[in-house]
Amino acid sequence: LGNKTPVKPKPRFLRVNTLKTTTESVVEELSKIHMVAKDDMVPDMLVLPPGTDLHSHPLVTNGKVFLQGKASCMVAVALCPKPGWKVLDACAAPGNKTVHLAALMNGQGGIIACELNKERAKTLQHTIRRSGANNIQTVNGDFLDIDSNDPSYAEVRAILLDPSCSGSGISTERLDYLLPSHSRDDQDDASTSSRVLKLSAFQKKALSHALSFPSVERVVYSTCSIHQAENEDVVNAVLPLATSLGFELATPFPQWHRRGLPVFEGSEHLLRTDPEDGLEGFFVSLFVRKAAGGDAEE
C-alpha cells in the first residue's frame, strides 16, 4: 500500500516470570508445540514465530509467562536493580515493568509502584497478583507530588520512569491496554504536535523530579514514542540539572545498533528500537550517578 517501506513481521516475544518458574521449564513445555528460541540479548526472553497466539495459554493465565515485547523488557534490564535494593517505579500501570523489576530482584528488597489513575491502579494490582511478587507496595497518586526528601524515599537507589507518552511507537491495537485513552496518537497533525509538546513538558518535569531523590544512583527514562520531542529533547533538556547532581548518561545495551537521534553530543548513549528491527518503537535512556571518586557504573 502506498510507498511505505515494508516492515518485517514481528516475532512474538514473551518474558518468563522467574518468580514462578524457570526459562528452561517454559522452553521445554512450549517447544512441544511451538518453535521457541532464547533471545540473544534480554535474559529470560523467548522468541516465537510471528502470529503465535498464547493469550489463553495456562502459562500466561497463571502468571508464569508475560506477553511482553523485547523493547519493553529492555527498560527494566537497563535499570539493573540489585536484589535487596529499594526501587521506585514512578508511572507504573499496567505494571509489566514493575513485575519485571521484581523478578530481576529475585523478589528481594522493595519496590514502590506509583500510579496516578485509579482504574489503572487496579490493573496494576492485578498484574502484581498474577506475578506472585510480594515485595511491591502501590501508591495511587501523582509521582510529582511525592516529596523526594520524605524519609520513606531516602533509600531509593533506582527509579524507573516510563511516563505517559504519545504511544506513537506502538501498534494501535495494543494502545488501549497500554496507555490512557487521552494519550493516543490518533488525532490530526496539529493537535498531535501540540499534545506531544504538552507530554514533553510533563516528561521533563517528571525526569527532573526523578533525578532529585537523594540516594538515587540509576534512573531510566523510557517511552514508547518515536517523537524526538518526547525522547532526545527530554534528555537533552534535563542534562544540565543531571550533570549538576553528579549524573552522566550511560549506554544501555551497548551492543544494540540503533542509538539516539544525533541531535546533541552524547545522544549515542541513548537507545531506540524501531519496526525495522522487528520491534515496537521504544526509547531508553539511562542516567547513572558517579560513585564518589570513581566512574559511573554501567
Residues tagged active-site: 224
Nearer to ligand SAM, 30 or 77 (CB): 77
Which residue ranges make up the site for ligand SAM (CB under 6 A)?
Answer: 72, 91-97, 114-117, 120, 142-144, 162-165, 179-180
CB of 41 to ligand SAM, least distance (A): 18
Round to whole Å and give the CA distance between 247 and 7: 37
The reply, when asked if residue 95 is annotated as ligand binding, is yes
The H-assigned helical ranges of the chain are 23-30, 58-61, 70-79, 96-104, 118-131, 172-178, 189-211, 232-244
Q: Specify whether the CB–CB gap between 78 and 250 falls below 8 A.
A: no
- Residue with the CB atom nearest ligand SAM in the bound state: 91
Round to whole Å and give the CA distance between 288 and 170: 28
CB of 92 to ligand SAM, least distance (A): 6
Q: Which residue has the cell 495494543?
A: 174
CB of 268 to ligand SAM, least distance (A): 25
Nearer to ligand SAM, 47 or 207 (CB): 207
Nearer to ligand SAM, 203 or 236 (CB): 203
Q: Which three cell numbers stand for residue 233?
A: 529533547
Round to whole Å and give the CA distance between 40 and 34: 18
The reply, when asked if residue 206 is annotated as ligand binding, is no
CB of 248 to ligand SAM, least distance (A): 24
The reply, when asked if residue 94 is annotated as ligand binding, is yes
Contacts of 199 (CB under 8 A, 6+ apart): 164, 165, 166, 183, 225, 229, 230
Nearer to ligand SAM, 48 or 79 (CB): 79
Annotated binding-site positions for S-adenosyl-L-methionine: 91-97, 115, 142, 162
Annotated binding-site positions: 91-97, 115, 142, 162
